[in-house]
Amino acid sequence: MVNVVQYAQGNQIVELMQQPTEQRDTTWLHKAVQQAILLELATLPPYLCGMWSIDDTSVKANQVRTALRKIVFDEMSHLGIACNLLTTIGGTPLLTGETRVPGYPGPLPGGVRPDLTVFLSGLTPDSVEMYAKIEKPDHPVTLDAPAAYTSIGAFYTAILKAFRANPKLITGKRQVERDMAHHGSGNSLERLETLADVELAITVIKEQGEGTSTSPENPYPGGQGELAHYYAFLKVLEILQPPNPDQIKPPPQIKTLPMGVVPHGGWSRKSPGVPASALDSFNRTYSDMLSLLEQAWQQPASGPAADLLQDAVDKMGALRKPARDLMKIALPDSSGKNYGPEFRYVAP
């Protein structure tokens, strides 16, 4: 077994992509898939904050909430698929540790899109623009000019090529299974025992996020006409901030809890009235969830693995109410903004 320790910060993905194709061996693949796991994890907190901040039951709000919920479920599935990709080649997913778990605000893990800072806030045009940049393909079908940077999808393409060059590494061991077909036709966690299984799994991750080279639709949808994440976020942006020919931004179309942007290091615990206990409790629950996920992919038997995964899912569900409670507490700076979850890892 290859012992790989990778961190959320740094340029590991950039360095991996610069390595010649013929040198992308077992060690390269272990490192690359671990970075893919951290990439999937990094997307969840910002998307969840946006979804949880919606405080409206209008038709438009429900459209946005539904779109975000589908994307969040896809990303949770992608995280699990990436973990199965690592264990099938003998690796062990690493999802805990203060220097490993993505922090906010900050870059995407591994140096992907170095011009992008990922932050936590309520749902705003700025936050949705950031979501779309995370998911943006190298060659969006709705744009003429190709992008000048490497996308997450391009990184997965490199991973797939390495699997194709090393198919004998695929063992099908320590695979966590879960039926999630009700969230989308490609969302279930299934055993990855062959190269064909791996190819389908990576294709699902790429095309649910970026669409295909010819269509913006999600080829593995939970419902008819569902857009891939990048294009779904552009649609959400149109709902939040309809195009204005006079270039004057109209007021937001959806009522949200005004969560501010979480600062570096988290909210100050020195301010009067700071909900320190609630913030710390949220971080503890989030960290416990990550530990449960990590333990699930360490199990040699499917039964205990499935139980641990269910415990992690329950922990995730338990985060919504305390997050929204924090989003209702005003910051002490008279900014009109409120607190919100920090999604910081804390050691047990």
Find the range with the poorest average confidence among 70-84, 92-106, 210-224, 252-266: 210-224
Residue 220's Cβ-side half-sphere holds a number of Cα atoms within 13 Å equal to: 25
Q: Tell me, what amino acid is at 16?
A: L
The 10 Å Cβ neighbour count of residue 265 is 10
| pLDDT confidence of residue 149 | 44
For residues 67-81, average pLDDT? 95
User: pLDDT value at position 318?
Assistant: 96
Please state the rounded mean pLDDT for residues 289-302.
96
Is the model's pLDDT at 294 over the cut of 50? yes
pLDDT in tens, 8-46: 457 888 899 889 999 999 999 999 999 999 999 999 999
Give the separation between CA 110 and CA 12, rounded to whole angstroms. Answer: 5
Separation of alpha carbons 220 and 77, rounded Å: 12
> What pLDDT shows up at residue 141?
34
Spatial distance between the Cα atoms of 103 and 83, rounded to a whole number of angstroms: 20
**CATH code for the part of the protein at 12-240+250-264:** 1.20.1260.10
pTM, entire model:
0.91
At 250, the pLDDT band (50, 70, 90 cuts) reads low
Which pLDDT tens digit goes with each residue over 212-230?
655 777 777 777 788 889 9
**What is the reported pLDDT for 244?**
67
pLDDT at position 246 is 63
Residue 186, classed as helix, strand or coil, is: coil
pLDDT at 3: 39
> Residue 213 to residues 142, 143, 196, 265, 348: CA-CA distances in angstroms?
10, 11, 21, 40, 45
Selection from 232-241, 267-276, 335-344 with the highest mean pLDDT: 335-344
Provide the H-helix boundaries in the chain.
Answer: 12-18, 26-52, 59-87, 125-135, 152-165, 195-210, 229-240, 276-296, 302-317, 320-326
The whole-number pLDDT of residue 14 equals 86
User: Does residue 120 surpass a pLDDT of 70?
Assistant: yes
Dump pLDDT digits (tens) for 310-329.
Answer: 999 999 999 999 999 999 99
**CA triple 183-322-340, angle to 5 deg:** 95
**Taking Cα atoms as reference points, which of 12, 92, 53, 38 lies closest to residue 236?**
53
SS3 (DSSP) at 135: helix
Render pLDDT for 148-199 as a digit per residue (tens, 0 to 9): 346 788 889 999 999 999 999 999 999 999 998 777 677 889 999 999 999 9
Q: Which residues have a Cβ under 8 Å from the Cβ of 25 and sit 6 or more positions away?
A: 166
Task: Read off the pLDDT of residues 185-204 as tens digits, 9 standing for 90 and up.
Answer: 778 899 999 999 999 999 99
